[in-house]
Amino acid sequence: MKKKLIASLSVVTISVALIAGGTLAWFTGNAKTDAKFKAGTVAVGIKQGEKDVNGEKLELIKNWNPGDSNVFDFDVPNLGTKRAYVRVKVTKMNWDKMGEMIGNVKLSPDSNWVMGETKTNEGQEHTYYYYKEILDGSKDKDGNDMTAEKALMKLKVELDGEGTGNDYQGDTFNMKLDVEAIQASNDAILSAWNISDAVKSELEGYKAK
């Protein structure tokens, strides 16, 4: 009788051990990864020929005469990684002596650019010249290296003959150009630059097919 009882107890004890061991014996595994999202860059420059003229003062004409018409070439390179629209803003036009009597000076870019007037939040109005095509950056959408593009601007500057009297003799005309760029994706140009429908219709990605 005693032998049977001991045997029964042994069986019960072993059974409990197997059940308890089973709850701890799952096969498990895990893996981890860190995801990184590197932002692209939007940057732009301005060159005359091979010379970087960003921030420089250029003396383009030393003996300007009424009736003269001159064309000046500027390169606007995309210096960032992303595709971008670029525009040139005329922020300053004045004569040293005659001040803002600038009706005798006419600016006109080549046909690759479209002119638009845009008001700032402060109510100031500026003249912009928008390059019609999107400039590729130095990376494609997958991050592979590619050749960045540049926009060439041929800016024609005319001094009206009839509108430029003797009061302008010896005077100097000043003009300041600012170059700006914005990413070409996600309609950023529409929300940030507040372009008109007329300008929009001329730009790559928006112009009528």
Q: pLDDT at position 18, please?
A: 43
Q: pLDDT at position 82, please?
A: 92
Q: Which residues contact 117 (CB under 8 A, 6 or more apart)?
A: 125, 126, 127, 128, 196
Q: Is the pLDDT of residue 122 over 50?
A: yes
Measured CA to CA, the distance from residue 95 to residue 100 in angstroms comes to 6
Three-state secondary structure call for residue 140? coil
Q: pLDDT at position 118, please?
A: 63
Residue in the structure block whose two tokens are 């005319």: 158
- Higher pLDDT among residues 61 and 121, named by residue: 61
Q: Is the pLDDT of residue 80 over 60?
A: yes
> Phi then psi for 104, rounded to 5 degrees?
-90, 5
Q: Which domains occur in the chain, in start order?
A: 47-200 (2.60.40)
Q: Please give the structure tokens belonging to residue 15.
A: 């059974």
